[in-house]
Amino acid sequence: MSDAATAHAQTAPWPEDRTPVDVAVGVLVRRQADGVEGEFLLTSRPEGKVYAGYWEFPGGKLEQGETVAQALRRELQEELGITIGEAHPWKVELMDYPHARVRLHFCKVYQWDGDFEMREQQAMAWQSLPVQVQPVLPGTIPVLRWFAEERGHAGATHVG
């Protein structure tokens, strides 16, 4: 998605009082042998969903009574067929899209069990900066910036 489209998603003139939907987001990160964070997982949004084909970090809406960690565990099992270890709360970002206002609860995940199964016929790609898959969902771009800051990456965080 272009920077202009990203800015539109973030600053479009929707009512400020729209109630945000809480979403648990898994930032699955491979660690190198020395413990340094390496590649991270992006998945494409499935056909039939808003922003189909856009790349994002996997996750989904919290159900009534769920914690962020519980929702993330459920969503990644349902979508990817994996069982995650500890979800490490990282950042929270509020995004305004034309269809919804969402509060994204990003959690880093370093351990998981099982083979990845794309249960919603989505694609998956292990990435590093700059991300090569495109288009990237607007809610993903702040995470790429955070990674750039943490990793001392200068330059573009994604192509396109």
Q: Flag whether 159 is in a domain.
A: no
CA 91 – CA 6 distance, rounded (Å): 19
Q: Flag whether 157 is in a domain.
A: no
Among the listed residues 107, 106, 128, the one whose alpha carbon sits nearest the alpha carbon of residue 37: 128
Q: State pTM to two decimals.
A: 0.88
Q: Flag whether 8 is in a domain.
A: yes
pLDDT the model gives residue 91:
98
Q: Flag whether 68 is in a domain.
A: yes
Place of tokens 């794309």: 118
Q: Flag whether 86 is in a domain.
A: yes
Q: Return the DSSP state at 158.
A: B
Query: What is the average pLDDT across 138-148?
Result: 96
pLDDT the model gives residue 18:
87
- Residue 6 — pLDDT band, cuts 50, 70, 90? very low
pLDDT the model gives residue 160:
80
What is the Cα gyration radius of the chain? 15
pLDDT the model gives residue 13:
53
Q: Which of 13-27, 85-99, 103-117 has the lowest mean pLDDT?
A: 13-27
Q: How many domains does the chain have?
A: 1
Q: Flag whether 155 is in a domain.
A: no
Portion of the chain with pLDDT greater than 90, in percent:
88
Query: Which CATH number fits the domain that encloses residue 24?
Result: 3.90.79.10
Q: What is the mean pLDDT of the chain?
A: 91
Whether residue 14 has pLDDT greater than 80: no
Determine the structural domain holding residue 107 and report its residue range. Answer: 3-149
Q: Flag whether 96 is in a domain.
A: yes
Whether residue 44 has pLDDT greater than 80: yes
